[in-house]
Structure 1
Amino acid sequence: MFDASHLTLFYLLAEWAIRLVMIVVIPLRRPPEAARSWLLLVLFLPIPAFILYRLIGRASFPTWRRNRFAKTAPERARIAQTLWDPDIPRSRLSLLAESLGGFPASAGHRIELLTDYERTIQAMVEAIDGAETRVHVLTYIFADDATGQTITNALSRAQLRGVEVRVLFDALGSRPWVEKTKAMLALAGIDARLVLPVRFAALRRARGDLRNHRKLCLIDGRLGFAGSQNIVDRDFKPGVVNDELVARIEGPSIAALDAIFASDWFLETREAIEPLPVIRTEGPAILQAMPSGPDFETPGYERLLVEMVHAAEERITIVSPYLIPDQALLTAIRNAVARRVRVDIVISSVVDQHLVSLAQRSYYDELLASGVRLHLYRDRLLHAKNVLIDEEIGIVGSSNADVRSFVLNAEISVILHGGEAGQHLAAIHDAYIASSDPLKLEDWRARPKRARLAENLARLVSPLL
């Protein structure tokens, strides 16, 4: 018969078995920063750590989803081949982005960068009202508030004209509104699907916080919107008003964005979407679409961002509401400063994610000490996500400079290769900095010790997420 001593021995043996197994497993499946945090947790709390690792430890999808995603690869490759232009010079960054995301840079685009929240929604409505064949919408948040109703009304009008309308919205990002949004879209006759609904059946189990964070609105294969803005009221969180950046694009790269939407649609529905012809314009901009996320083999956005920082010669500007860099990005930034590149990072003084804010604040000291210029955007949450290198190569998209966007989220980036678009983005960055307060190292080091403790504890936890 078992008594208390046997149970104690069994518990101790289980703990040590977990420690020994996880010491082998974790370093093979997690990047070094996350592995260190997991191993520390396993050392002190092996059984809770094992349970937590089973829930959120692996940043990958189950086999059935990986197989389904592989079926979409030939169509994306066909679109990429169509977009290939031998007359466009290939830079090291464009080649890397093509290798990571699958699509080449292409010429012949018109692009407008939109910073006004309400004007962006109105521009989407105008585009949907002008649609003739197809409208595709993919968003992280789709609310049933005034903004959501405005977009839904436009989609309904398109549907009544005989336009194909498809909507994807993330199940977790839209969680507070899911049922009402589904009902609103169904009442309008819109074919809308949840992205990555949380399922508990064993054979379909996936890490619940692997999310689709992309924001796309695509019209007739000729016009599209990509950036940081969700379909929700600007002040949907009490006390927080969002500022965003969205690119309005016309040109051949819309075909790549449509192919990304089609892949995401197939993953949720197993329904293939017939591609539209690639439409070219006479615009001057060279653009490149780059998807990233756990469906892909490597953390594409992180690798591209690190390479961009290494390639910079004069100035780097990174705008991100959430800043939790990995070691590769930190090293690249410090090296850039050491070779006398000006590095500006714009973050928000307004906080909407308190744990994330504590974790990112733990990096401020080493960034400031290395010579990085940190700017705290005043009054509103600067939810925009964009990067510019030497006023030549830029990114506008949905990716933050944090571990979540690097590893866990499906994201979309539009890469700007030179030209007026980079100059316009530089002017937007100057406006951001003018609306920000510089953070000084001496002021930062004067903060209370209890704040430092909370920040360091949050930093320990952040790689686990």
Structure 2
Amino acid sequence: MSAAQAPIDLQVAGNRLRLLAGGVERFDALIGMIEAATSSIRLLFYMFTEDDAGRLVLDSLIRAAARGVDVRVLLDEFGSGAIRPAFLDPLSEAGGHHCIFHPKIGRRYLIRNHQKMIVVDDRAAIIGGANINEHYLTDIGPQHWRDIWLAVDGPAVPELGDYFDALERWVRGPRPLIRKLRRIIARHSRGSGPLAWRFSGPMRKHNPWPVQIVKDILGARRLDIVAAYFSPSRAMLRRIGGVVERGGSARLVTAAKSDNNATIAAARYTYNRLLKRGVRVFEYQPAKFHTKLYIADDIVHIGSANFDFRSIYLNLEVMLRIDDAAFAAAIRSFVDGEVADSLEITPEIHARRATGWRRLKWAVSHFLVTSMDYTVTRRMNFVD
């Protein structure tokens, strides 16, 4: 968080909500939660890497298990596939447990467990977009990521723990059928009011988080979308533009730098439609960008979901919907700071960029990132 931005630490419906926008801040909060645990730790991450940061987090989990804390770790095989099988053995030896979300041949092969969360003692939790990796947990260096976590302390936390337990049972079960996974997503995306958990996954229809964000956009007069990966459908682009057409305002903040240039090109493919409808578009400049944050009037959505095909229709994602005017105002001020560190893509700038060759690359990129896994598109260089 820049020096000009005040820390965000507010109470909503009896829950303390703290925005963790700095990499070192995130690392310290994560280690502090693990070290303070007395009964249980549930940790679920898409990416957990065998680097200095990952080893320090693992060492903290091992110490917790050794002192009798029930430690359970769930990782995605694609996101965490680079770690050696033996890396997690010391956790098992200390009494902890771990399992892997494995893709299977068939429909399940396309699904990624893209969620990031830790739940400690059913009293404190962290969600957001940053992975357990040294480049997400620092604020310096050319490879570091700009991202956020939200720390939640209070009565909303046990529901997230219940979801983790159901998902872990499904992963460990003898027949982890897709229809059973869909029931878990639907059953745990319940409640309304100031705080409500919304999950998404490979649902045929009524996908809880996408359905909710569409409703909130359709009713919004002021919309902010902060999405590192942005490649929604034309229908979703129309809904975003509709906020401006009915007299409101809409902003998009997305990436100028990433480890996946195809996603940047795919986002640029959408700019023309947005700009024509009066949506303001910004590309974040200082670092690689990985944030996922959405504000529709007084409603904030924060968690792991990008605004792209995979997050909306396929991946497992966790989002918290917060309906509170004071919290939304504070988060919108944070977005103002991100905008200040961004280049506004005006219609003139976009027109200068949009040569015939680039438009072709943008179109191809948009097709690929909505039809292929990011582990494939990451190898492609579609931005110049």
TM-score, normalising length from structure 2? 0.83
Q: 2:119 aligns with which of 204, 218, 242?
A: 218
Q: Which residue of 2 aligns with 1:142?
A: 48
Contact map agreement 1:286 1:417 (CA 8 A) in 2: yes
CA offset at residue 394 of structure 1? 0.3
For 1:125 and 1:175, locate their aligned partners in 2 and report how far apart those are by CA, in whole Å.
23
Letter in 2 for 1:162: G
Q: Is it true that 1:269 corresponds to 2:172 in the alignment?
A: yes
User: Which AA in structure 2 matches 1:223?
Assistant: A
| Per-residue deviation, 1:189 | 4.5
Q: Are positions 1:231 and 2:132 aligned together? A: yes
Counterpart residue type for residue 356 of structure 1: T
SS for the counterpart of 1:256 is helix
Q: Which residue of 2 aligns with 1:330?
A: 237
Q: What is the count of residue pairs matched by the alignment?
A: 340
1:214 offset after TM fit, Å?
0.6
Aligned pair in 2 of structure 1 residues 407, 184: CA closer, same or farther (>3 Å)?
A: farther
| Superposition pairs of residues 2-41 of structure 1, within 5 angstroms | none
Could you tell me which residue of structure 1 aligns to residue 220 of structure 2? 312
- Is 2:265 the partner of 1:358? yes
- Largest Rg, 1 or 2: 1
| Separation of aligned partners in 2, 1:296 and 1:216 | 25
Per-residue deviation, 1:230: 0.9
- State which of 137, 144, 158 in structure 2 corresponds to 1:255: 158
Tell me the percent identity.
Answer: 27
Residue 283 of structure 2: aligned partner: 376
Q: Which one of 389, 404, 409 corresponds to residue 310 of structure 2?
A: 404
Once residues 461 and 147 of structure 1 are traced to their aligned partners in structure 2, the CA distance between those partners, rounded to angstroms, is: 32
**1:242 and 2:145 aligned:** yes
CA-CA distance at 1:194 after TM superposition: 0.7
Q: Given the superposition, is the C-alpha separation of residues 178 and 257 from structure 1 closer, same or farther in structure 2, using an over 3 Å criterion?
A: farther
Q: Distance in 1 between matches of 2:292 and 2:44?
A: 17
1:251 and 1:384 map into 2 onto residues whose CA distance is 24
Report the CA distance between 1:297 and its aligned residue: 4.7
Shift of 1:340: 2.0
Residue 234 of structure 2 corresponds to residue 287 of structure 1: no
Residue identity opposite 2:217 in structure 1: V
Other-structure match for 2:364: 457
Alpha-carbon offset, residue 419 of structure 1: 4.1
Among candidates 294, 298, 309, match of residue 206 of structure 2: 298
What is the deviation of 1:249?
0.5
Q: Matched residues in 2 for 1:181 and 1:287: separation?
A: 37
SS in 2 for 1:208: helix
**Alignment pair present for 1:176 and 2:82:** yes
| Residue type at the aligned position of 1:312 | A
Aligned CA RMSD, in angstroms, stands at 2.2
Matched, 1:163 2:69: yes
Q: Does structure 1 conserve the Cα–Cα contact (< 8 Å) formed by 2:70 and 2:96?
A: no
- Pairwise CA distance, 1:183: 4.1
Tell me if 1:394 matches 2:300: yes
Aligned to 2:182: none
Q: Distance in 2 between matches of 1:458 and 1:184?
A: 42
Cα-to-partner distance string for 1:238-293 (whole Å, 9 max, x where unaligned): 9532011111101121111111111210111139xxxxxxxxxxxxx932111111
SS in 2 for 1:363: helix
TM-score by length of 1: 0.69
CA distance in 2, matches of 1:235, 1:125: 14
**1:360 match: secondary structure:** helix
Consecutive unaligned residues of structure 1, counting only runs of 5 or more, are: 1-105, 272-284
Q: Is the 8 A contact 2:103 2:112 kept in 1?
A: no
Alpha-carbon distance in structure 1 between the residues aligned to 2:312 and 2:370? 11
Bigger fraction of residues in helix: 1
Displacement of 1:226: 0.7
Q: For residue 13 of structure 2, give the secondary structure of its aligned residue in structure 1.
A: strand
Equivalent pair of 1:143/1:181 in contact (CA under 8 Å):
no
Amino acid at match of 1:229: A
1:198 aligns with 2:103: yes
Q: In the alignment, what sits opposite 2:250?
A: 343
Aligned residue identity for 1:141: M
The match for 1:432 is: 338
